Structures are given as C-alpha cells and as structure tokens.
Amino acid sequence: MTDRELLLAAQEVRKNAYAPYSDFAVGAALLCEDGRVFTGCNVENHSYPAGCCAERVALFSAVAAGVRRFKAIAVTGWQRDVAGRPCMPCGICRQALSEFSYDLRVITGTPDDILTHNLQELLPFAFGM
C-alpha cells in the first residue's frame, strides 16, 4: 500500500467522525507489518475525556485484533478555519503509538502534497523508550 492510498483510507474513515463539539473531524489509517490496515475516526462525548482520537481508535482496534507491529499511520483532519493544514497526531497519540512502533512513519498532508515524519522525530524521549 502506498502512502497516498493510506492517506485516502484515512480520508474515507474521517467521514464517520463524531465531532459535534470541536467540529474537527479526523481520520487515521494504520498500516500493520502484515499488510492489514486498521482505520479509526475521532469520537467525541459530552464529557470530553470520554472521547478518543482517531489514531488511538485505529491503534486499539489493531491491538484488539492481535496486531502489535506497525509500519505507518496516515492522519487527516479538517476544520473550517484550518483546512489545508496538516493534521498531526496529538501528544497522547504519539505516546500510545510509541508503545508498539517507535520507528513508525507518520503520514499527513493531502494526497497531492504528502508529508512524512518519523514518530521518534515527533516524540523524542518518549516515556518508556
């Protein structure tokens, strides 16, 4: 799967985001070492801490399916006033992802302007590393 295909998968699942409070819909697609892809969208709640980011929804779904090693995650977000700017994983998601694949590639941007980073670059000195 190409970076572009993974980003398109993230864009597709973003359509299912439940974000009535922030109006910030996010989609994530996590590519496993075995080639499978798990997707997630953010799910908000009246009680803010009860919600979850798209990246961790995808990660937890993969772990629940028995997967522990990942190659890349594509993340895409949208909000009216920040459209066009890349959506990066939040600090909590960076930490959660580092637990399993500290060398994970993080793909953001748009299908026509893809940006890639390494998780270690985005979260140096991760807790537990």
Given the complex with Zn ion, which of 2 and 45 has the nearer CB atom? Answer: 45
Cα dihedral 99, 96, 5, 82 sign: negative
Given the complex with Zn ion, which of 36 and 91 has the nearer CB atom? Answer: 91
User: To the nearest whole angstrom, how small is the minimum distance from the Cβ of residue 4 to Zn ion?
Assistant: 23
User: To the nearest whole angstrom, how small is the minimum distance from the Cβ of residue 36 to Zn ion?
Assistant: 21
Q: Does residue 30 sit in helix, strand or coil?
A: strand
User: Does residue 5 carry a catalytic annotation?
Assistant: no
Given the complex with Zn ion, which of 40 and 112 has the nearer CB atom? Answer: 40
User: Which residues lie closer than 8 Å to 29 by C-beta, 6 or more apart?
Assistant: 6, 7, 9, 10, 13, 37, 38, 39, 58, 73, 74
Distance CA 69, CA 41 (A): 20
Instruction: Write down the catalytic residue from 5, 33, 44, 55.
Output: 55
Residue nearest to Zn ion (CB): 53
User: To the nearest whole angstrom, how small is the minimum distance from the Cβ of residue 27 to Zn ion?
Assistant: 12
Over its C-alpha atoms, the chain yields an Rg (Å, rounded) of: 14
Q: Provide the binding-site residues for Zn ion, judged by CB under 5 A.
A: 53, 90, 93
Which positions are catalytic? 55
